[in-house]
Structure 1
Amino acid sequence: MDNQLWYRLDHAAKMYSSIVSSRATTLFRVSATLTSQIDATHLQSALEATLRRFPFYKVQLKQGVFWYYLEATSQIPLVEEENYYPCMSLGIKRSGSFLFRVLYYNKRISVELSHSLTDGTGGLKFLQEMIIQYLHLKESIAVNNPEPDQKQLQSEIENSFLKYYEKEIPILKSRIGKSFKLPIALDKKGRYYITTGIIDVTELKQKAHYYETTVTILLTAIYIESLLKIQDDVARRHYPIVINVPVDMRSFFKSETMRNFFVSISPSIDSRLGNYEFTEIIDELKIEFRRLLSPKRLKQSIKRSVIGEKSFWLRIVPSPLKDIITPSIYSLFGESQYTSGLSNMGVVQMPSEIEQFIERFECYPPPSIGNKVKAFMISYQKHLYFSFGNLSKDRMLEREFFRNIRKKGIDVAIETNDEEN
């Protein structure tokens, strides 16, 4: 058992802890819909078992003199019945608050986690363990997970940014410049609209094969194509379409960390160069992904993530002052540079003996003022679930994207939590 009393934040978590607000909650969601109604008592027991397996998540955020840190706690979080919009403020800086919450509604179990604690991969692994524990209690499914030893626990709390940081590598320039922004207004605080498209994976793979590309590049191309069409319709001046694409670094560097370990790449299409055919967008993205997704390039992104913290001047700035200046820095060098964000959480694999009890998985992006509309996608068994998160009442991107999906001969069923659309 890991008996550590406190933890330094990883390099992504330090930034997210300083920018958190009622709008930029830093919360993302991973959820699973089961085949039967959720039993809250069993779910609470499953959560407690999951926290024994991943003790690093049983922490609270504390403000130090220069940096925030995580402090272990003996308190137990309680599962809650969901009754409002997803990914809304959790108050992670409030005394006694955890950096995640577990919600249930009808057949669905959801975990909303702050990026101050972990990333999508860590959050999904936490949810998967909780589902296994829940179905063990509810359906008497055997749990075959061996108890982790101290070495395993240490690998799961590793700061992998530091492990793969190389001082000699030149830093990757992060300033992109002006990009196209959707002309939409924020809705009232506390409202976050989700629109999910359910797409047959076989159809997507066939269409990707037709264009000689991957499903990720195909959907990114349709996303950009949709934004180009919107820009043509609404903008007098054209700017590049720039997409923020988080990359799970565990796919490129050995790591079992349950903390953040991702960087972002920014594939783009510059519409000032002229009109693009869909095949041209795909060809451009193939080149961009191949160029940016190499271990050498990604190590430059790791250095960019770490280097700021190593600055003498940043280290001596008191933590409360960092809370004031970091949001402006993040706005200048972060999501304000992008048109939108798009993340692929990949294919969810569950033990074969419990697959029959799970209908689907979904994931929702963290709300962002800089990118009022973002999207996450995740695949489970026969379907891919493509979910938009939107802080605005306007659905121009969602409509255009799913219209383009259908134009390419791909069926999609659409669900939304917005009663007016």
Structure 2
Amino acid sequence: MFWYYLEQTERRARVVPEHAPPCSPLYEDSRSSLFEVSYWKNKINFDVFHVVADGAGAIEMLQTLVTEYVSLAHDLDLCQPPRAAMDERMEDGFQKYYKSDGRSSKRERKPRAYRLPHRGGDLKVYEGVCDVKQVLDAAHRYNTTLTVYLAAVMFQAIHGGMYVRDRKKPVVLTVPVDLRSYFPSHTARNFFSIIRASYAFNERSGEFSDILEQTAVAFKRELTAENLAARLNTLAALEHNFLLRPIPLFIKYPVLLLSGLISDVGETAALSNIGKFQLPDAVAPYVKAFGVFVGTDALQLCTCSYNGQLHLGFTTTMRDPSVIRRVFARLTQDGVSLEVRSNTMYGEGS
């Protein structure tokens, strides 16, 4: 009646043939497992509801799953002890590092962000595969990091499709941050925060160098332990509010829904750098690549690397993939060779 919660299940998970589009809903009823393992030819899919785990937790599960499968399929003698005890993997990082007397983040009024057009269709997946060294070289030529470089490329690509009248609204990218890098934790549960980077094309030059500079400034300002701790306190404080706890779900739910809609108004797209997949040396020769995709109502880019390759996984409900095409065109212009894949087809010239 008062809050949503998870509980353990004794139901045995089963591996099934791939049967649904990417990032399909996993929640059907209260008995749903909230994750699914499927396959198609030599491809393994691990789909997980974001309530269960964040990117780091999902990666850990997929790496373990692939390692166990390859070791059984090829009779490899591998001993893979868990990197942390069960209680450490199940801990609630937000509760552990919440300070009742700590500083909370200021509730600043966020301006309405530019919203990408023609949203709300079926989810489409586009994947670019390239040499991670080529992308790093491109970023280093601009004296910046890979994530800041890709964020700047996204800003420029989004700007390429904006009408002049829309430029009064800033383009806002949300970037998930793994809090394990700032607060010691081995939890496999959700333990991440969000930072925002924005660029106002009606106030600044729009030159790529200026976009890079402003993006780097935003990352440097937001990515501090102090700011992330304040954000953590703000989120965790809601769970400790005894006035909110007894409010029934039928009242909470529409309020949460409205809060989500208000938050969406302040966002244009999302960029998530998942990081590097790592497998035991004996397993690596049997695995070609990894890719990561997130369900979205707008546009999201998830990047991950493995075996020297960088995978750029775009998901979007936009009917026109021109923003993604401009991202790939900019990377190509900067000397990055790309192989592009998609789960949909468009006519010539799209």
Say yes or no: TM over 0.5.
yes
Deviations 1:236-269 (A, max 9, x none): 4421111010000111110000100000000111
Q: Who is 2:340 aligned against?
A: 414
Find the counterpart in structure 2 of residue 340 from structure 1.
269
Partner residue, 2:88: 155
- 1:46-85 alignment runs, 5 A limit: 65-85=1-21
Please tell me whether the aligned partners of residues 161 and 261 of structure 1 are also in contact (alpha carbons under 8 angstroms). yes
Structure 2 partner of 1:405: 331
- Residue 179 of structure 1 pairs with residue 113 of structure 2: yes
* TM-score where L is the length of structure 2: 0.94
- Which structure 2 residues correspond to residues 15-414 of structure 1 after superposition, within 5 A? 65-92=1-28, 94-146=29-81, 152-172=85-105, 173=107, 175-187=109-121, 191-231=122-162, 233=163, 235-332=165-262, 334-368=263-297, 372-414=298-340
Shift of 1:235: 4.2
Shift in Å at residue 392 of structure 1? 2.7
Give, in angstroms, the shift of residue 283 of structure 1.
1.4
Q: Structure 2: which 5+ residue stretches go unaligned?
A: none
Task: List runs of 5+ in structure 1 lacking aligned partners.
Answer: 1-64
Q: Distance in 2 between matches of 1:398 and 1:301?
A: 31
- Secondary structure, counterpart of 1:365 in structure 2: coil
Over 3 Å counting, the alpha-carbon distance change for 1:295 and 1:237 in structure 2 is closer
**8 Å Cα contact 1:244/1:335 also seen in 2:** no
1:74 is displaced (CA, Å) by 1.2
Letter in 2 for 1:378: C
Q: Distance in 2 between matches of 1:289 and 1:340?
A: 16
String of CA shifts for 1:287-335, please: whole Å, max 9, x gaps: 2111111111110110121122233332121123322321111111x23
Residue type matched to 2:315 in 1? G
Equivalent pair of 2:129/2:309 in contact (CA under 8 Å): yes
Counterpart CA distance in 2 for 1:114 and 1:302 is 21
Question: What one-letter code is carried by the residue in structure 2 that aligns with 1:155?
Answer: E
Residue of structure 2 equivalent to 1:16: none
| Residue 79 (structure 1) shift | 1.4
TM-score by length of 1: 0.79
Identical-residue share of aligned pairs (%): 28
